[in-house]
Structure 1
Amino acid sequence: MTQFNSLRRLTALLSTFVLLLGMGSQAAAQASDVNKDALAQSLSEKLQLRIDTIADSAVPGLLELYTERGLFYASEDGNYFLQARVYNVENGVVDVTENSLKQMRLDGIDKFKDSAIEFKAKNEKYVVNVFTDATCGYCRKLHNEMDQLNELGITVRYLAFPRAGINSGVYQDAVSIWCSKNPQDAITKAKAGEQVASATCENAVAEQYNFGKQIGVNGTPNIVLPDGSVVPGYQPAKALQMALEQAAG
């Protein structure tokens, strides 16, 4: 069964690559300039999708679309729209799409550096950004290891991801945590099952949640490593340290 699944994934990978290679060759032959602003407006209207940025991709003639729902591709004439993985097989197999997503994650997270709830390691070696929900069991388990994580040199920065969505009770709890006088203390109490005093303020909870959805977060904890790669789910402190060391090369 494992061999069958591996073969199926490889077949899908090669099919995607061949499709994109053919499109790239066709578009390269046309070699036309693209008005990316006009194309973004046209595709947004056709697809009812907010497009934040359009950039050239590694495949000639294929464009990367950074949207409110994640990363997509389109042909330069705007007639073809794809949700796919792009691989470079020139020297081994390199996941080009994942590399683009890594940068997308890092660029987005950087916007929240002043609104994250941070638990800083004294001898900081790594910084991880964690999409979290105070009611999530595995988020609580991760938080219980905060002292160990910090001792290992891992700084944890929390971003809000209320799983029930905006305007839910969990969302209002997240706002109260982020708006409390001491957010670190508030999130620690909430993850211990204690009630957090209601509070409101100008906050980035909704923006953090929407960004999480944009980059494919569908559960918590969702851990973004310093290189932009993702650990989807709880990892014990030592296992997370190993993942960080591997990501750092």
Structure 2
Amino acid sequence: MLKTKVAVLLATGLLASCVEAQNTTEASIKKALEPRLGGAKIESIRETPYGGLYEVRVAGDILYTDKKGEYLFIGRVYDTKTSTDLTTARLEEINKITFSDLPLEMALKHVKGNGKRTIAVFEDPNCGYCKRLRQTTLKDIDNVTIYTFMYNILSEDSFVKSKNIWCAPDRNKAWDDWMVNGKLPPTAPSACTTPNDKIVALGQKLKIQGTPAIFFTDGSRIPGAIDLKSLEAKLQSVK
């Protein structure tokens, strides 16, 4: 019994020492790197199981460094045995959201076909890639419910267009008229209120740095426009 207690105490002490050493290393890395990142703040530092590298999370992205923070590695880490992109897998893991937490009442809702599948798309009305996505992939896909958050990040004019669309009698028609056909909606009454500012804050919280950004019910996301075949494959993989 005494031996067991001693073993537990030793193990506990060893674990505490390891945690303290790890915290010290992470603090040293942050102190060495952060002043050299142009004002960007390090969100977290984590030792990886490969190559003695440390994962450094900055602005929703991943960088790598050594134990002393003397070198910075920008790029992807691959598992050569499985050809797995470990960096992408890790980014998908840390950037997952809880889909049910999205304030869908602030989005345009468009049901196509039976609407059984669901996606949420963040788009800026002045985004060329968003327009292309609307004119091709989202126009052709069926049996899906699309929630569109008008995420205004490109210009002040984006806010104006989004307000006019939000305040239109038929929001979905006004959105498609503009994004697909280039037809501007009528000017909204000044008294009409919109969720524009709240959506910008939401997008920043979700670390959406560009549009379009597509979210799926499993919490995963795809940044950028994709073709119909790729979107269908992704939807089939979502459980």
Instruction: Place the TM-score, normalised by the shorter chain, in its bin.
Output: 0.5 to 0.7
Worse-matched range after superposition: 93-102 or 186-195:
186-195
Structure 1 length as normaliser, TM-score?
Answer: 0.60
Structure 1 residue aligned with 2:200:
205
CA offsets 1:65-107 (integer angstroms, 9 cap, x no match): 22226221222332222212111123x2110001012123323
- The correspondence of residues 169-248 of structure 1 with structure 2, limited to 5 A, is 169-174=157-162, 184=172, 187-188=175-176, 190-191=178-179, 193-195=183-185, 197=188, 199-200=193-194, 202-208=197-203, 211-213=207-209, 217=210, 220-225=211-216, 226=218, 228=220, 230=222, 232-236=224-228, 240-245=231-236, 247-248=237-238
CA distance in 2, matches of 1:60, 1:111: 37
CA distance in 2, matches of 1:187, 1:163: 17
Shift of 1:56: 3.4
Runs of 5+ consecutive residues of structure 2 not aligned to the other structure: 1-20
CA distance in 1, matches of 2:169, 2:56: 39
CA distance in 1, matches of 2:223, 2:130: 13
Structure 2 residue aligned with 1:164:
154
C-alpha spacing 1:76/1:40, structure 2 compared with 1 (3 Å):
closer
Shift of 1:161: 4.3
Give the conservation status (yes or no) of the 8 Å contact 1:227–1:248: no
Shift of 1:50: 1.6
Q: Give the counterpart of 1:34 among 23, 36, 45.
A: 23
- CA RMSD after TM alignment: 4.1
C-alpha spacing 1:179/1:62, structure 2 compared with 1 (3 Å):
farther
Give the conservation status (yes or no) of the 8 Å contact 2:151–2:199: no
Give the conservation status (yes or no) of the 8 Å contact 1:102–1:227: no
Give the conservation status (yes or no) of the 8 Å contact 1:223–1:231: yes
Shift of 1:173: 3.2
Structure 2 residue aligned with 1:127:
118
CA distance in 1, matches of 2:50, 2:107: 36
C-alpha spacing 1:80/1:172, structure 2 compared with 1 (3 Å):
farther
CA offsets 1:141-192 (integer angstroms, 9 cap, x no match): 544676764xx33232334444635xx3124434665688986566445435
Give the conservation status (yes or no) of the 8 Å contact 1:117–1:184: yes
Identity of aligned residues (%): 21
Structure 2 counterpart of 1:132, one-letter code: E
Give the count of matched residue pairs.
207
Structure 2 length as normaliser, TM-score?
Answer: 0.62
Q: Does 1:104 align with 2:94?
A: yes
CA distance in 2, matches of 1:54, 1:183: 44
Runs of 5+ consecutive residues of structure 1 not aligned to the other structure: 1-31
SS at match of 2:203: helix
Give the conservation status (yes or no) of the 8 Å contact 1:174–1:205: no
Structure 1 counterpart of 2:224, one-letter code: P
CA distance in 1, matches of 2:125, 2:226: 14
Give the conservation status (yes or no) of the 8 Å contact 1:86–1:96: yes
Structure 2 counterpart of 1:232, one-letter code: G
